Structure 1
Amino acid sequence: MQLFENQQIHLYNSLSGKKEVFKPINEGHIGMYVCGPTVYSNVHLGNVRTFMSFDMIFRYLKHLGYKVRYVRNITDAGHLENDADVGEDKITKKARLEQIEPMEVVQRYTVDFHNILNTFNFLPPSIEPTATGHIIEQIELINTIIENGYAYVVNGSVYFDVHKFNETNDYGKLSKRKLDDLIHNTRALDGQSDKKNPQDFALWKKAEPQHIMRWPSPWSDGFPGWHLECTAMSTKYLGDRFDIHGGGMDLKFPHHECEIAQNEAAKGQSPVNYWMHANMLELNGQRMSKSTGNTINPEELLSGNNKFFSKAYAPSVIRFFIAQSSYRSVLDLTDDGLSASEKGFFRLMDAINLLNNLKASSSSSLNINNWKQKCYDAMNDDFNSPILIAHLFEGVKYINQIKEGSQTVTVADLQTLKDTLNTFAFDVLGLENVTKKETGTDKLTAAVDILIKLRQDARANKDFALSDKIRDELAGAGIVLKDGKEGTTFSVN
């Protein structure tokens, strides 16, 4: 008997706006698609948070015994930003700025994407298709939509007719937007666009002479629309209707809304039973933005070489911090939050490592099986990782009580305690069993703290030459001191 037969999952479906009992289309099998990155720049932490949420979900479903086909694409076909009618696509623009070929851009940032995810201990997806590898499927899909009367061709480009589609379907049902409101809030066409209406979106764009990434099609040499790529790849590998489609909250409209419309126009049915969206990541209470400088990439956070955080943090500490918030909640990345998570993470690791030294008794004073089910109940409730972590720390309390002799546990219950903690900490949450000693953070922090104290004493004694010498020599070793209102902190370059 598989575990899933005894565990009933309730997940939040963005389409219905409520939690629903999860019932796979095919018993014991799950098809899950998550929108991957457009590989024109280094992956940012907001992306990492989204993919980490679905990595955790993938891990838990696998743990329950489901056979999961997890498809996460790579968008390597240049498309115009926000499906605009004019302008450069992201990949070609990057290639022009760096004076390299577009596919060099794709290769460079695909490798970066994989390296970052490997650093954070992600499981690879079952299939990782690329948009450029599925141009034929996309052209076939466009042909079907045209034949069904929901798209039109103008000057070599093909557009989805949103108004025609909405006559018999509900465009906006995922994002809870009405077409009338979209029309009211959209500026009038300026006469330069080939679209019938501003709400229509591109299925295929004719390439301008300078557009490098282009493919032959029945309508023109051009490139596919952004929304079309995911429809073609998800249905090829998961079927015309599959279980779960995930992505960031920012993709709900227009990207996922357009995916639904395309599939209904081509196949006559909605493609997905459960739509899931991970929420946004903020930095110090504000939205991450390159334009304001309020942004940080994963490598800067891991190295400590940044202006926001007092030190470097290990990948599993960051992963633990992210898991302490529901995937559907806005998460604020702060130094205090990461520091607290680091302490909690090492406390959990220390307790797990202590398990091997505990002695069993002939009887148990703890109800370990009841505690174990509470861990499952947390994950069964829309993958509620913060509640799961609270239960894991209840297990830490049990370990300390057993060690102190205030509670007893049998051999069987001790093994259950050990297996459950290991399963949820490592197999489900994806943490790695590292200690402060292995990360080196405790020794480095202690050494630098001593030098900071010596520098403070020097300044108090007006020995500014020694104070500056300590600061400068630490900087020469790649350790930057930062003086602030609450004292001196450091980062590692």
Structure 2
Amino acid sequence: MEHQLLIYNTLTRTKELFKPINPGHVGMYVCGPTVYGDAHLGHARPAITFDLVFRYLKHLGYKVRYVRNITDVGHLEHDADEGEDKIAKKARLEQLEPMEIAQYYTNRFNAAMAKLNVLPPSIEPHATGHIIEQEELVQQILDNGFAYVSNGSVYFDVEKYNEKYHYGVLSGRNLDDVRDASRELDGVGEKRHQVDFALWKKAQPEHIMRWPSPWSDGFPGWHCECTAMGRKYLGAHFDIHGGGMDLVFPHHECEIAQAVASQGDQMVKYWMHNNMITINGKKMGKSYNNFITLDQFFNGEHEQLVQPYTPMTIRFFILQAHYRSTVDFSNEALQASKKGLDRLMDAITQLERIEAAANGTLTEAYAQEVETKCYEALDDDFNSPIVISHLFDACRTVNQLADKKQTITPEGLEALKKVFHTFTFDILGLQAEESGNAEREKSFGQAIDLLLELRAKAKAAKDWATSDQIRDRLAEFGFEVKDTKDGATWKLTK
């Protein structure tokens, strides 16, 4: 089928037909983590959101270059321009080199992403590995008259930029709004205007991370890295830039200003932002000290968790909501996600045991109908919860086939298997976990079938005691047996 993919563009606040700048090729940049602590649920959402985008674009046949950066310098403790570098602070407290801290948490972040089955990006650049590119960006902005040097630091002149261009195109803010938000700090420090932001900061004597530059020994401002690295690896114009909604202002707004000030036009065609994960209605994150790390979810060792949750339960939990909607954490929601995931995996396992019938009531057309609905949902701004709802509808049909209340042709069965595998595994990125139902059923399947054969023989011999004993003992071990007119079926219930 021909795909008319619609993407919600934060810049225009509308759904737009996706047309890559270079036909057949997609450049995508997503803001990655600041690596000074363990990944938490808030990190999982953008990673899984843009993993879905990455997987689907590749599935449609695009050649995708996916860049996700690692912030290992320049993210300061107070705000974008003031305070101690978060990684440097962690290094000082633990008496380690800053790059030891950065590497340690980068490794842990990537390990957590692997558990969530998030595909690695095409390129994972580090801010510290691109100081030269960031200095070149700063110099271009200076040369074009939209920045100034003050006491060894370089600041972006937002007021001057706003005279020629509009500062606030992404967030919808105007300069008066930004001024009002920082009025209490007006006139303080090295800036001409409090709304100006740092492109380069002169390092204080105690600052560990520093590099030489034409202006001072210092370090780049936080906003510079993504503009510089995006342009290096994806060119002066690329298709998609993504991240969490909390990055719209100031980070992505400043990125747009830097790009336009340095090259004269917009660098990014489509801006995409996932919404927040909340806990008790408040954003979950390190700055609020209310986050739960992914490892804590996996091992259940947190006071707000009543049990451990597997990586695939977490992934399914996130995919059950559209990426632009808020998701509120609760144990009840995660437990419901586990049941939903088990239901989907059970159906996939049942499909492998169903016997096709040459004159089946369901044909390949049924599988094609499910497939079309799933594609239509994904083509409408990557609507994963609608895909899941269509798969759940198909699960009911699979259960009817397993209970022999319906039949399906061989071509239809193979097509339906392909639909489930394509959308569940290839696009949604879910996996059958070793501790999950699918793997257990695979291991025990032949043994259960053998026991049911023995039970069938006992029933044929009217040995009801043995028949009931086999059924009851299987139930004790979590296997539900159903008798139908065509024989017995079973499924794992716990």
Task: Verify same fold: TM over 0.5.
Answer: yes
Structure 1 residue 293: Cα displacement:
5.5
1:406 aligns with 2:402: no
Q: Kindly report the root-mean-square deviation, in angstroms, between the aligned alpha carbons of the 2 structures.
A: 1.8
1:392 aligns with 2:391: yes
Aligned with 1:40 (options 12, 36, 44): 36
Query: Helix, strand or coil: the match of 1:344?
Result: helix
CA contact (8 A) 1:79 1:224 kept: no
More moved, 282-291 vs 362-371:
282-291
Encode CA deviations 1:284-309: one digit per residue, 9 max, x unaligned.
44432557763311111111111112
User: In the aligned structure 2, how far is the partner of 1:339 from the partner of 1:44?
Assistant: 18
CA contact (8 A) 1:85 1:193 kept: no
More moved, 47-56 vs 78-87:
78-87
Encode CA deviations 1:350-376: one digit per residue, 9 max, x unaligned.
110111221222345442212210011
Structure 1 residue 125: Cα displacement:
0.2
CA contact (8 A) 2:316 2:337 kept: yes
- Pair 315,84 (structure 1): closer, same or farther in 2 beyond 3 Å: closer
Structure 1 residue 377: Cα displacement:
0.6
Query: Helix, strand or coil: the match of 1:226?
Result: coil
1:215 aligns with 2:214: no
1:419 aligns with 2:428: no
User: In the aligned structure 1, how far is the partner of 2:151 from the partner of 2:42?
Assistant: 38
Report matched runs for 1:66-465 at 5 Å: 66-81=62-77, 83-189=79-185, 191-288=187-284, 294-363=290-359, 365-366=361-362, 367-434=366-433, 435-436=436-437
User: In the aligned structure 1, how far is the partner of 2:82 from the partner of 2:276?
Assistant: 29
Structure 1 residue 318: Cα displacement:
1.3
- Pair 237,351 (structure 1): closer, same or farther in 2 beyond 3 Å: same
- Pair 371,292 (structure 1): closer, same or farther in 2 beyond 3 Å: closer
User: In the aligned structure 2, how far is the partner of 1:214 from the partner of 1:413?
Assistant: 63
User: In the aligned structure 2, how far is the partner of 1:107 from the partner of 1:438?
Assistant: 34
Query: Helix, strand or coil: the match of 2:223?
Result: helix
- Pair 417,271 (structure 1): closer, same or farther in 2 beyond 3 Å: same
Structure 1 residue 416: Cα displacement:
1.3
Encode CA deviations 1:449-484: one digit per residue, 9 max, x unaligned.
xxxxxxxxxxxxxxxxxxxxxxxxxxxxxxxxxxxx
* Amino acid in the other structure paired with 1:433: A
- Pair 266,181 (structure 1): closer, same or farther in 2 beyond 3 Å: same
CA contact (8 A) 1:83 1:225 kept: no
User: In the aligned structure 2, how far is the partner of 1:188 from the partner of 1:294?
Assistant: 28
Structure 1 residue 242: Cα displacement:
0.6
1:14 aligns with 2:13: no
CA contact (8 A) 1:282 1:330 kept: yes
User: In the aligned structure 1, how far is the partner of 2:97 from the partner of 2:205?
Assistant: 16
1:478 corresponds in structure 2 to none
Structure 1 residue 149: Cα displacement:
0.6
% of aligned pairs identical? 58
User: In the aligned structure 1, how far is the partner of 2:259 from the partner of 2:66?
Assistant: 19
- Pair 280,104 (structure 1): closer, same or farther in 2 beyond 3 Å: same
* Amino acid in the other structure paired with 1:288: M
2:23 corresponds in structure 1 to 27
User: In the aligned structure 2, how far is the partner of 1:417 from the partner of 1:176?
Assistant: 45
CA contact (8 A) 2:88 2:98 kept: yes
Query: Helix, strand or coil: the match of 2:172?
Result: coil
User: In the aligned structure 2, how far is the partner of 1:259 from the partner of 1:82?
Assistant: 19
- Pair 230,420 (structure 1): closer, same or farther in 2 beyond 3 Å: same
More moved, 178-187 vs 289-298:
289-298
Structure 1 residue 86: Cα displacement:
3.8
Encode CA deviations 1:408-437: one digit per residue, 9 max, x unaligned.
322222111101101111111111113248
User: In the aligned structure 2, how far is the partner of 1:65 from the partner of 1:165?
Assistant: 40
- Pair 36,179 (structure 1): closer, same or farther in 2 beyond 3 Å: same
Unaligned runs of 5+ in 2: 442-494
Query: Helix, strand or coil: the match of 1:69?
Result: strand
User: In the aligned structure 2, how far is the partner of 1:292 from the partner of 1:191?
Assistant: 29
User: In the aligned structure 1, how far is the partner of 2:340 from the partner of 2:180?
Assistant: 50
User: In the aligned structure 1, how far is the partner of 2:286 from the partner of 2:261?
Assistant: 37
User: In the aligned structure 1, how far is the partner of 2:186 from the partner of 2:289?
Assistant: 34
More moved, 292-301 vs 106-115:
292-301
CA contact (8 A) 2:367 2:419 kept: no
More moved, 346-355 vs 250-259:
346-355
Structure 1 residue 37: Cα displacement:
0.8
CA contact (8 A) 1:31 1:69 kept: yes
User: In the aligned structure 1, how far is the partner of 2:309 from the partner of 2:273?
Assistant: 27
For this pair of structures, how many residues does the alignment match?
436
CA contact (8 A) 1:175 1:253 kept: yes
Moved over 6 A (4+): none
CA contact (8 A) 1:188 1:198 kept: no
Structure 1 residue 81: Cα displacement:
3.5
User: In the aligned structure 2, how far is the partner of 1:71 from the partner of 1:145?
Assistant: 24
Query: Helix, strand or coil: the match of 1:174?
Result: coil
CA contact (8 A) 1:189 1:197 kept: no
Encode CA deviations 1:311-365: one digit per residue, 9 max, x unaligned.
1111111111111011111101111111111111111111101112212223454
Structure 1 residue 188: Cα displacement:
4.8
More moved, 169-178 vs 39-48:
39-48
* Amino acid in the other structure paired with 1:263: A
* Amino acid in the other structure paired with 2:248: K
Encode CA deviations 1:239-269: one digit per residue, 9 max, x unaligned.
1111100000100000000000000001111
- Pair 309,86 (structure 1): closer, same or farther in 2 beyond 3 Å: closer
User: In the aligned structure 1, how far is the partner of 2:297 from the partner of 2:424?
Assistant: 22
* Amino acid in the other structure paired with 1:384: N
